[in-house]
Structure 1
Amino acid sequence: MFATAASLSLLMGCGSTPKPVAKTPVVTPPKPVDVQANQPVTPEHKLLEAKKVWQGQKDKDARDSLLLDAAALYIQQEDTLLAQQVLIELRQDGIAPSLHDRYALLLAKAYINNRSADPAKLHHLLEGLSTSTSKKAEIQTTLFAKQGMWADAANALLRTNASAEVKVEQVWTWVKQLDETALQKADRQFPALRPFISLRNLTHEYAQSSVSLQEGLKAFQRTYPGHMLATHLPKDVMQAHALSQPDLQEIAVFLPLSGRLASTGEAVKDGIMAAYYEQLTIQGENSNLPALRFIDTLGKSPQALVSELGEAKFIVGPLLKETVESLIPVLPANVNMLALNRVEPSLAPSTQPQLSPSDVSVNSSAQDAPLHQEVRYFGLAPEDEAEQLANFIFNKGLRAPIVVAAQSSLYERMHDAFKDRWFALHKQKGTRAHVTTVTFNDSSSLREGITQALDVAQSNKRINQIEYMVNEDVYNMPRSRRDIDAIIAFASPQDTELLNPIIEASLNPYDGKQVPVYATSRSMDYDSGKNQWRDLQNVRFIDMPWMMPTHQWQALAATTDTVWPNRTTMQNRLFAFGFDAYNLLPQLGMLTVLPYLKYEGLTGELQINDSGEVKRQLPQAVINNERVQMLME
């Protein structure tokens, strides 16, 4: 193979058009370049051919066609820089109309992975080409996918010559990533995607039962006969179809029911029992509900806990992280656990669903799938809330937040989780992350940190310097930084009550700019009365649906208020935690296999990620006129 410098010299040697001559000489066509039978054709061979054709025949179209061959081979070898150089030379010399479509396709391919290339311009380059739909669609698919335009990418992929199996799995992957708004838009915009969207809606509708899902899939196949989805269902849908109903005959609940954490364990237990009796009310006295056995974990070794399992195949708990970590290695086979905490990833067992073979027929029995040991992790992780705030303010277009964090292990963890997610989001977009951090341990350091972060202290210093220089009072307001567009609070309810007035006092009222303050549930205490809401005016926060004034469980809330009139905010949250834990058990298999599915629980909108962790999405509210007001953002 020729060296790169030789390749470019060959290109330059045939790149310019000579002056016209009076008489075209008669030449003998050059012999093709000798390439041994087993030797692959290289871009350099094509460049050499192009040079000889030009020198011998002065046939520009033939030369340019060979140069395009060279560019295509460079792209095939992933030498995109050399391909770009060949194409640039061609563009400068002019492209014949007969070669334009091929040139445009190769140019798009050569720049498709170039970060500085504008995707919109590459899309424009492909518009109006008369070349085959499939080749153009392949490039469009890649372009749309790189831009995160999942519906457009899926629609383009369906126009390629890819196999039905490839199309089904990839289009399904992209359709699953669409939120509800994007899904509705795609349904209107891309008719070819409607069967995929219909299938996703169907799995949502029948997520409560694999038996119902089987019937739904049969109806789907009757609705779309002959469609690729009728014969090539996505693998995860096949796995969901193959799930058997969990045999919840007996459930062992591991909780701390004595000692210093007894009140915590009892609140979770109350939630579990409330969910149990609600199910009993719905299904009737003759329903076959599981037997519940509550086992106190205080002072018991993992082996002692296992010995108390008896015939139970399902465990809810333990609550403490260290107990979960020590119990996992000694769990018996075929025992499933919904731990009420999380462990380090290195300590977690495999979370891949243990199902029957993925090629199970749609008409096969769902009861054939065996039960295997699985561990799922459901915790009220504060890091989840911090990450949700990072996602929200980033998607809202805010880019210069101040993070205010109390100096304690809990709030430092939340601060670290926010920053990690914030920097990850910027890295994905290729933008630079900006964040200002204020840490404090008392009201004095809180006030000082806020004023410094907002640059108010520097503004006051400048005013004092001017007064000293002119020996007169300067009637001016200290000005705060104008680039700050959000303030995130990771602090206790008491500290957050102090924080909000300090921020309002530090912001220059003449700027006319409102800087929103965001907080998490850890900053909210519903037991303090209206004085708290007065001091938190305009603060936006996220919390469990159960804690919001308007939710769908009003009857349950009325009952709990009657039974436990003096329950604290934390006990109410733990009650909701236990309630959801019990109701999640029969849903774990479906939520694991189809992770885009959501369970609407008291503690939030629940999904299971690839690590087997239940992730919560919380609603947002704002304090307005001393009342909690739900937001629909």
Structure 2
Amino acid sequence: MASLLVGVLTAWLGVAQAQVPDYIIQLNAAPLKARAAASAPHSVAVPAAKPVVAPAPRARPRIGVLLPLGSARLGEAAEVVRQGIEAAAAVDDKADVVVVAADEDNVAARYQTALADGVNVVIGPLTRPAIAAVAPLVKVPTLALNALDRGMPANPKLYSLALVVEGEAQQMAGMMYDDGRRNPLLVASQDALSARLRKAFAERWQALAGKSPRVVELAGADQATLSAAAAQGDAVFLAVDDSEAAGVKQALPADLPVYATSQLNSRHPPAALNNVRLIDMPWFLLPQHEAVRRYPRPEGALTMQTERLYALGIDAYRLAVLLANPKASPAALRLDGVTGDLQLGRDRQFTRQLPLAVLGAGGLQ
């Protein structure tokens, strides 16, 4: 990058000097003076060149990071996000990072202090109540690390990058539809996460196919019920966790395509889940991808769920650097991220397009 900058600056200086009056005369000053002395009794004054002033370098952006580092409930998660941010900052070195511990009871005051200290961009807060607390105060680009509430007043400088399951369910519905599936079976359980997956998938499928998917509740279904329901469909979407998914998969015809979200991706998936198609962030599915290889893995051993927060921190820093550029058009922002292909939606929330993989005996395929 430094060599590129030097090259650009050198080219700029050449053009600037060429636009100074009498540039050609100055370039050939010695021979011109010699000829003038031989043919005229007096010398000709040559105007001195005007000094060329290079543009002043732009100050490095200052990124403020507001995380609940002291929270008993969220402190560990916040610390992992911080590690991801600082890992990306150490590699890219494009901005100064100022980390501020901020809980929900003081986040508004800490946000205002960060603004007074001259930050250009803010990463955080992490929770929805904290986001709601700072939303009325936002004056610089602020990248919240959770979904924005629909009822929140619009602010063109408030953005969101979040690892929400609803986006994965909606993307999987689109993939299944693009694969030609038209009669999917949705298998769900009664926990809150499954309910969110079920709702998001069903809404997207309704928009795509004009009808609701067939749903089977695990609580009231045995293997015979599952087999009978699957026989009427052309694919299955598993809105269940990995402890339930293996039993469901064993009850399904071996040749029936089965789809799932990242919650079924584990370091050692059971053999019963072989051939399940799932989506997850490039950080796990594409370890040799250029954007992924660029950044170090976390130093300590983390669960996959926790390591996702580390990857979130990496992309949060990278987006913050882009948002710090006053000439950048937020609507055109796109990032080949470690958490997905990131693009800003109309609701100021970044969508994550995730790669697809297939679980197999040797791991992901």
Q: TM-score, normalised by structure 1?
A: 0.45
Q: List alignment gaps of at least 5 residues for structure 2.
A: 1-7, 9-56
Cα 1:394–1:484, aligned 2, differ >3 Å: closer, same or farther? Answer: same
Higher strand share: 2
C-alpha spacing 1:570/1:556, structure 2 compared with 1 (3 Å): farther
Q: Which amino acid aligns with 1:593?
A: A
Give 1:380 shift.
0.6
- List runs of 5+ in structure 1 lacking aligned partners: 1-211, 213-244, 281-288, 352-373, 428-432, 457-479
* Counterpart pick for 1:536 among 247, 269, 273: 273
CA positional deviation for 1:491: 1.5
Alignment of 1:291 with 2:96, yes or no, is yes
**Is 1:255 aligned to 2:67, yes or no?**
yes
Structure 1 position 413, deviation (Å): 1.1
How far the C-alpha of 1:248 sits from its partner, in A, is 5.3
Q: For residues 495 and 261 of structure 1, what CA distance do their matches in structure 2 show?
A: 27
Q: Which residue of 1 aligns with 2:37?
A: none
Tell me which residue corresponds to 1:305: 110
- 5 Å matches for 1:38-53? none
Say yes or no: does 1:435 pair with 2:213: yes
Number of the residue aligned with 1:523: 264
Q: Does 1:614 align with 2:329?
A: no
Is residue 399 of structure 1 aligned with residue 206 of structure 2? no
1:273, distance to aligned residue in structure 2 (A): 0.6
2:123 and 2:145 in contact (8 A); partners too: yes
User: Among the aligned pairs, what percent are the same residue?
Assistant: 28
SS at match of 2:169: helix
SS in 1 for 2:251: helix
2-structure distance, mates of 1:434, 1:413? 15
How many residues were matched structurally? 303
The CA deviation at 1:247 is: 6.6
Work out whether residues 187 and 238 of structure 2, in 8 Å CA contact, stay in contact via their aligned partners in 1. Answer: yes
Match of 2:318?
583
Q: Alpha carbons of 1:326 and 1:542: their partners in 2 closer, same or farther (altered >3 Å)?
A: same
Higher relative contact order (Cα pairs below 8 Å, separated by 6+ residues): 2
**Counterpart position of 1:599:** 335
Q: TM-score, normalised by structure 2?
A: 0.76
- C-alpha displacement at 1:495, in angstroms? 1.7
Q: Deviations over 1:194-219 (max 9, x none)?
A: xxxxxxxxxxxxxxxxxx9xxxxxxx
Correspondence 1:494 to 2:243: yes
Q: Deviations over 1:367-416 (max 9, x none)?
A: xxxxxxx1111101111000001111112211111111221222211110
Question: Is the contact between residue 518 and residue 539 of structure 1 (CA under 8 Å) also seen in structure 2?
Answer: yes
Displacement of 1:434: 4.8
Return the structure number with greater helix share: 1
Moved >6 Å (runs of 4+): none
Q: What's the counterpart of residue 59 of structure 1? A: none
The structural deviation recorded for 1:502 is 2.6
Tell me how far 1:620 sits from its aligned partner. Answer: 0.3
Structure 1 residues 342 and 452: alpha-carbon distance in aligned structure 2, compared to 1, 3 A threshold: same
Partner of 2:26: none
> Computing the radius of gyration over CA atoms, which structure comes out larger, 1 or 2?
1
Q: How does 1:158-177 map to 2 (within 5 A)?
A: none
In the TM superposition, 1:213-362 aligns within 5 A as: 249-258=61-70, 259-280=72-93, 289-309=94-114, 310-331=117-138, 333=139, 335-351=140-156
Structure 1 CA distance for aligned equivalents of residues 241 and 58 of structure 2: 41
Cα distance in structure 2, aligned partners of 1:396 and 1:422: 13
Q: Which letter maps to 1:601?
A: G
Q: Following the alignment from structure 2 to structure 1, what is the Cα–Cα distance between the partners of residues 280 and 293?
A: 20
User: Distance between the aligned counterparts of 1:417 and 1:248, measured in 2?
Assistant: 41
Deviation of the 1:542 alpha carbon: 0.2
Shift of 1:546: 0.5
Q: 1:619 to 1:301 in 2, by over 3 A?
A: same
Give the conservation status (yes or no) of the 8 Å contact 1:254–1:315. yes
Shift of 1:418: 0.7
2:185–2:233 CA contact under 8 A, matched in 1: yes
Deviation at 1:490, TM superposition (A): 1.3
Deviation at 1:336, TM superposition (A): 1.8
Question: Partner amino acid for 1:436?
Answer: R
SS in 2 for 1:455: helix
Contact 2:123 2:142 in 1 (8 A): yes
